Amino acid sequence: MRLSSFAGSDVGRARSGNEDSYFCGRTVFAVADGLGGHQGGEVASAAAVAPLAALDGRELATPTEAAEALAAAIQEANSAILDRALGDPSLWGMGTTMTAAAITADGHLQLAHVGDSRAYLLRDGALEQLTTDHTVVAELVRRGRLTAELAAIHPERSILTRAVGLDPRIPVDTPDPLDLRPGDQYLLCSDGLTEAVADPSIAELLSANEDGDGACRSLIDAANEAGGPDNITVVLVRVSG
């Protein structure tokens, strides 16, 4: 199997700066959406991506090894952000989401995740969200206290329950690994995409664009056409036979 990867990021139409960061390597991919103000968000997301980028090209034999490496890198990022904020009061309270993926030597994709950036799989025309949003509203949906339809328009839908850089001990989700199959498309994205573009439209745009760079651009354009309420970042991994 052969992997092709593509990425893009845009400030959107409502923000003055881009607080997202991403990494699009050979075997490791990541999206981080910073919070804590313009400067703090940029600093936090960049600091979070760095330990993930250091894993790129390292042979991770199994999903278990990949999950441990990704989680350790996110913990390293968490400590680095906290230390940076302690040394600079202007950065106090900064943090970031993190959604990362690693390709293993035995042909799997392993995810690690904190926050409300997302990972998706498009397989055989069906789009599946692979990560769980760590937000107050998403937790209410999981408990049956709010419908998904109301959650999508809830005024507090972006309030996080978990983020990198805000707590010395941060739980990291490592969902079950996925076996890579020809035709798979894996998308990592910040909520600047998902707040503006519904899942069926994401699936349609990924399916309609044979060119990976074009697919990324079409997703960003769609978010901007819907108002571009936040920074928009996408990383796309395609699997071919």
**Helix residue ranges per DSSP H, 54-109:** 63-87
Give the pLDDT mean for 136-162.
72
CB atoms within 10 A of CB 198: 12
Element (H, E) at 39: helix 38-53
* pLDDT(156) > 90: no
Model confidence pTM above 0.85: yes
Q: Does residue 223 contact residue 197 with C-beta atoms inside 8 Å?
A: yes
* pLDDT(8) > 70: yes
* pLDDT(220) > 70: yes
* pLDDT(129) > 90: yes
pLDDT of residue 241: 85
pLDDT of residue 146: 67
pLDDT of residue 133: 94
pLDDT of residue 219: 98
* pLDDT(141) > 70: no
Mean pLDDT across the chain: 93
Q: Does residue 41 contact residue 18 with C-beta atoms inside 8 Å?
A: no
pLDDT of residue 159: 84
User: Could you tell me how many residues make up the chain?
Assistant: 241
* Least confident among 36-50, 67-81, 200-214: 36-50
pLDDT of residue 149: 67
Q: Where are the domains of the chain?
A: 2-240
Local confidence band at 88 (pLDDT 50, 70, 90 cut-offs): very high
pLDDT of residue 150: 66
Residue 202 to residue 152: CA distance in whole angstroms: 16
Residue 65 to residue 52: CA distance in whole angstroms: 14
Name, in order, each residue with C-beta under 8 angstroms of 100's C-beta and a sequence gap of 6 or more: 28, 29, 30, 31, 52, 70, 73, 74, 111, 112, 113, 188
CATH (one of 3.60.40.10, 3.30.70.980, 3.30.1490.20, 3.40.50.2020) for 2-240: 3.60.40.10
